Amino acid sequence: MKLHVGCAMWTLAPWQGRLLPHPLPPRERLAAYATWCNAVEGNTTFYATPSRATVEMWAAQAPEDFRFLLKLPKPVTHERRLAPDVFAPEGALHTFFTAIEPLGRHAALWIQLPGSFGPADLPTLAAFLSRVPQGYRYAVEVRHPAFFENPQSVQELEKLLTEADAEWVPFDTTVLYETPPSSDAEREAWTKKPRLPRRTRALTRFPVVRYIGRDDAELTVEGWQPWADITADWLREGRSPTVFIHTPDNADAPVLARRFHEDVRRRVPEVEALGEPMPVGPPTLF
C-alpha cells in the first residue's frame, strides 16, 4: 500500500533554514523536499512551461516513487479552453509535452478548467481527452457549480472521465470557509479560492485530493479527518491515492502533509512509512 502526500510547491521562503537546509542550489531543492513528501503539485507550469533541461534536473532529483501533478498551461485550458487548435504543431501543448517528457511515469497531468467551463463544454473535454498523448495519467479539476449541484451534470462528467480513465480532482475548501478568516493569508485565500461543496468519490485507481485548511494547524487537522477516513478506505480497496495539503500561508505544509500521512497510517498500519526528513543543519556532538 502506497500513500503519496505533498504540497503546492517544493520550496518556500518560510521553509528555508527551518524545514529545509539553506541555502540550497536549484539542483538540490527538490531532492531536499522529497525527504519530507513523496509528491508535489506543479502549479508553475500553468504560467510558463519550463525548459527541457530544467525538467531533466527535476527528474534527476526525484526518487523512484515520487509523483508530480503538473498543471497544463493556461493558454491550453483557460485561453483556448481545450479547443482543437491547441494540438497544433509547436503550439503551447506540444511545447509542454516535449518539455515534461524526462519525467516519464513520475508525472500525472492536471487539467484545471475555469469556472465558466460548464456542462455544455463536455464534448470539448471528451474530444481533448481522446487526443492527448498516452502514457500519462490525467486528472481534471472543474469549478462550474453545475458539476456539484446538478445530478445530471455530475453523472455526465463522471461517465466521460471514467471512459477516458481520467480522475476528477476535488479541491476541498470547506474548512477554509467554515468560519471567517483570522489572518491576512486567510483573507487573501477567501478572495481567490473556489467555494464549492466537498466531493469524495474516486473514479480511478489513482485518486487525487487537494485540501486546504486554515493557518491554525489544529483546525486543519480536524478538518481533514473525513479525508483520512476516505483515504484509508481507498487504500483498502487497492487504490493508490495522492493527497495534497495546503494552508493559506503554507508555512507548515510539509509538516502537515506528513502528519496526514501518519493519520492515515493509524487507520491502515500496512501503509509504508515516510523516510526521515533531511537535517536542516550539520550534525553536532552535543
Residues in the chain: 286
Average pLDDT over residues 108-130: 98
Q: Taking Cα atoms as reference points, which of 133, 222, 206, 212 lies closest to residue 173?
A: 212
Q: How far is CA 73 from CA 70, 160, 195, 264, in A?
A: 9, 22, 23, 33
* C-alpha cell at position 195: 467555494
SS3 content of the chain, % helix, strand, coil (to 5): 45, 15, 45
Distance, first Cα to last Cα, the chain: 39
Cα gap 33→23, rounded to integer Å: 13
Q: What are the tens digits of pLDDT across the range 207-223?
A: 999 999 999 999 999 99
CB 243 within 8 A of CB 209: yes
Q: Which three cell numbers stand for residue 88?
A: 497544433
**pLDDT value for 199:** 97
Handedness of CA 210, 212, 217, 221 (dihedral sign): negative
Cα angle: 155, vertex 206, 57; to 5 degrees = 130
The answer to whether the CB of 69 falls within 8 A of the CB of 111 is no
pLDDT tens profile 52-83: 999 999 999 999 999 999 999 999 999 999 99
271, three cell numbers: 501503509
CA angle 237, 147, 204 (to 5 degrees): 20
- The one-character DSSP state at 222 is H
**Angstrom distance (rounded) from CA 2 to CA 5:** 10
- Kindly tell me if the per-residue pLDDT of 1 is higher than 90: no
Summarize the confidence of residues 250-278 as an average pLDDT: 97
pLDDT score of 284: 45
pTM of the model: 0.96
C-alpha angle with apex 174: 194 to 235, nearest 5 degrees? 105
Neighbour count for residue 23 (Cβ, 10 Å)? 9
